[in-house]
Amino acid sequence: MFKKFPILFVDDDANIRGLGAEILREDGYTVLEAADASDAIRMLEDHPTVGLLFTDISMPGLCGYVLADMAVTRWPHLRVLYTTALLKTAVIDTQRGSFHGEMLVKPYSAARLTAAIAGSLARARPSDTGWGDTQRRK
């Protein structure tokens, strides 16, 4: 049901991003890719029907928490799934932004990735305004 909504995969590591995106595409998802928060915001502006932001927490520039704050403010229908290999850093980084979703710790298997994505898309956001609502908040 939720596979019709694109996923935005944000990770500064091109190998992780490319492999993860390919796994999700093979599972039937449409996947957009971004290397950092700035690219991710541009992708969301171009593709406001993205249903899930899957973002690394520790990236150059803005961290995944700040990216999620910005994205959920403008696109309240957006679900968020975080990932990191650095849990200690992830806990510290919560001081820089709010926590809007669940966490998938690296390294993860293809099965864990697809299960986490499906679970995140299936869960309702507390501020969910409906899947058809693509109006941006300014």
Here the tokens at position 67 are 């990216």
Distance CA 24, CA 8 (A): 11
SS3 label, residue 104: strand
Mean pLDDT score, 58-65 = 91
User: Can you tell me which residue has the tokens 């899930």?
Assistant: 52
* Residue 119, H or E segment: helix 110-122
| Cis check: omega of the bond before 6, within 30 degrees of 0 | no
Q: What is the mean pLDDT of the chain?
A: 85
In this predicted structure, which of 63-67, 75-79, 85-89, 120-124 has the lowest mean pLDDT? Answer: 85-89
Q: Which domains does the chain have, with CATH numbers?
A: 2-108 (3.40.50.2300)
What pLDDT does 135 receive? 38
Q: What are the angstrom distances between the C-alpha of 66 and each of 69, 95, 104? A: 5, 10, 17
What pLDDT does 89 receive? 56
What pLDDT does 133 receive? 40
- pLDDT tens-place string over residues 5-29: 899 999 999 999 999 999 999 999 9
Backbone angles phi, psi at 20, to 5 degrees: -65, -45
What pLDDT does 3 receive? 81
pTM across the whole model: 0.84
In this predicted structure, which of 25-34, 38-47, 84-93 has the lowest mean pLDDT? Answer: 84-93
pLDDT band at 138 (very low <50, low <70, confident <90, very high): very low
pLDDT over 90 (residue 87): no
Distance CA 65, CA 6 (A): 20
What pLDDT does 51 receive? 95
The answer to whether 77 and 128 have CB atoms below 8 angstroms apart is: yes
